[in-house]
Structure 1
Amino acid sequence: MFFFKKVSAEELGERPLDRKGRKEGKALIKGIRKFLRYNDDLIAEKNKESISEKRTAFSEALSDRSSKRKDLEKLAEDLTETCKKSVKGYKTSAWKENIEIIFVAVVIAMGIRAYFIQQFKIPTGSMQPTLNGIIAYPTEDMNPLSERHAPSDYKRPSLPQRLWDKFWFGRSHVDWVVDEDDILILKPENLSSKTQFFFFPRTFLVTENGQKFSAPGTQSRVEMLLNRNLQPVRGRSLVFSVKKGQTIAKGYVDTGDQLVVNKFAYHWVLPKRDDIYVFNTQGIPGIQRNLLNEERRNGISPSWATKPRQGSQHYIKRLVGEPGDTIEILGPGLLINGKAPTEMGILRVMAQEGYYTGYVRRGMSKVTLPEGKFWAMGDNSANSSDSRDWGTVPQQDIVGRAAFVYYPFGHHFGPIY
């Protein structure tokens, strides 16, 4: 009979981490990145630098396989405490155990999100009318050049109707009227958009005299509701004078479709033609370059940066071509391997029924897809940035298949085809 000596806590602390411990260490680093991203606007720059230094120290120690467990635990504890103290108002309390239980539930949910399903909100109109992005409906007197308008007799509805519209259509009504003579400044310091609760964009406007307005939706969509007849101030760009009682924005904004992405399916089968799928842009140089240039213009990334700070974005498109396919756009139709496609979704776009406008060539010639590369196009072909602009989607960047719209209920609720 063999007897195994139980290892004491002191002896265990002197040993290097095992495989499970290293995995937990990597999870901590990933969690810190999420913490910084979600609390970016709450953490002072000096605290961000402190967190970054401690994260680097922990990461380097974790990479050194000779590092002792006790040293890594000390670094991890120091890093975690620094994060907690970086958010103003954080306090430990008698509720700590309950908070930890909630944290465990969140971790489980994140695990489900990482391997099975993921929520996704469509911000743009590239997949309309199959799926809606955020859509603005200004009144015609506010913006006569808009593609869509609120009804000619539109008035901001009563509170019960507004609540129903929000529930059923994800609709927000806007009627901005200034209370005094003022100056409207449409520059980044006065007009900006911010994501709230990780998922919901909201646009804010502050006048020169400090009047504040806000509305759900991205800045580009809310700007569609602004009055195009305002009097510009001579010698000042994007600055307008407004009078007391004047309407500066009117109409409504419908939120983009919110859907569930099936991340599990593509572990078993390859993406196939006609799927509506979500992918990240990490391996698409054209998009990454545009992101970096935008960050440089906005002062987010320095001129010497080689990668965008936000990492990458997520796009949703229809899969039109698989590896080995030859795609040729004729407009409004297209050919796949020299033949007309038979897939229902692609045919619906080509038929130009309803709001479908068909495929637009946009100067594209025939292209043959290499191994591991897919061709993505928006159903709203005339207003979609897709593979015609930035090329193919690598298989490793594909997140999953769009499965089900769960909100709002009044447009496309249900399975996605």
Structure 2
Amino acid sequence: MKSKSTSTFYAYTIEAILFLTYSFFAVNWIAGSTLTAQIAQTFGVDSGASSSFVSNAVTIAKIIGNFMAAYILTKLLPKKSIGLGSLLIFGGSLIAVFAQSYLMFIIGRFIMGFGGAVFVIYFAPVVMHYFTPKQRPTINALNSCAYNFGSIVALLIVGPIIKIFQTWQKSMGFFVCISGVLFILWCVFGEDFELNKSSNSSQESKYSMKDALKEKITWLLPLTYSGVLVLYLTLLQLFPRIEGAAITASTLSALTGIGGIIGTLLAIALAKCYTKRKPVIIISGVVMTASAFLMVKTTTPSIAVVAALVLGTFMFLPMTSLMLIPQELDNMTPSRLTAIMGVFWALAYIIETIIFYLFGVLFDQTGSYSSSIMIAVILSLSFVIGGFFLPETGKDK
């Protein structure tokens, strides 16, 4: 199966469509979260309960979507698989906008979350197919901050859009239209490509989810990253709830997003002069945990701001190296990579869900999230520990 085009312009067109689709998934999602009070009032539901239900629905959607991504890719091939993910993001958003009941709204958000979970897995095989090993660090770095980019866009435009359109339906409808345009663009430019051939072998090798579960790397990746995911969500969801926090939740979110952009730029610059993967992961893990500890413990706002910015930077800086490791393994194929990444994200979210349930149990016993936040900081050391066990795929220059 041959691609229609392997030109640089075509490759970057495909990348731009994928990047913007996932970024506006983030924008649409954050817009829905921002408008929770209006949405809850429309359906006569308590806003706290609304947030809880929607959050749980999306977590389930992410796990199911991650596990199914490889199967969908094998059955539908790349163009239809990525198109399906984009369509679900657009369609789920549309259902939520026109929902006549709270249940229908949740179903729409579930479909949207499922589409996002499926879609994000397909970044890896697309990068592997369209870009050279020299280009991949830059593209992986950009993809790792797609959601952060969307968060910053949301921070800038969601407020003004709400003022212009007044109602939550019209405001979210504006972002739905953008997702619809991006879906159409994928239908025009998307194409199928070979899934079962590696770049260094002419032989085809079919690969299933069962095969992925037998690989060491499939388990090492989520065990390495899950601590970081727990810390990230803890700082956004639980840290603002403790008394005496030096910075507000909105400030923390903004600084994490800005840090993510800085970390991405540093990752791109670093890739041009340093090709090893493990040292970047290990050192970033140490700095990240230390800055998280400082941010949580300090009562001085200026120190907390600097620590949060450093935390955001070193939380996203090593993601390029982490994503490159499975891509650079010997005899890697798009289908094998998709299966590994699908299991990776699914297991990471399962671990995060279990830990957050235990945090809830701990809160019931102590009446505070302080202990949970410190546990999350300690768990982020999984990045350091996992870094030692991951294979080194980077080559000496």
What range is the shorter-chain TM-score in? under 0.3
* Bigger-Rg structure (1/2): 1
Give the number of the structure whose residues are more often helix, by fraction.
2
Give the number of the structure whose residues are more often strand, by fraction.
1
Tell me the TM-score normalized by structure 1. 0.24
Tell me the TM-score normalized by structure 2. 0.24
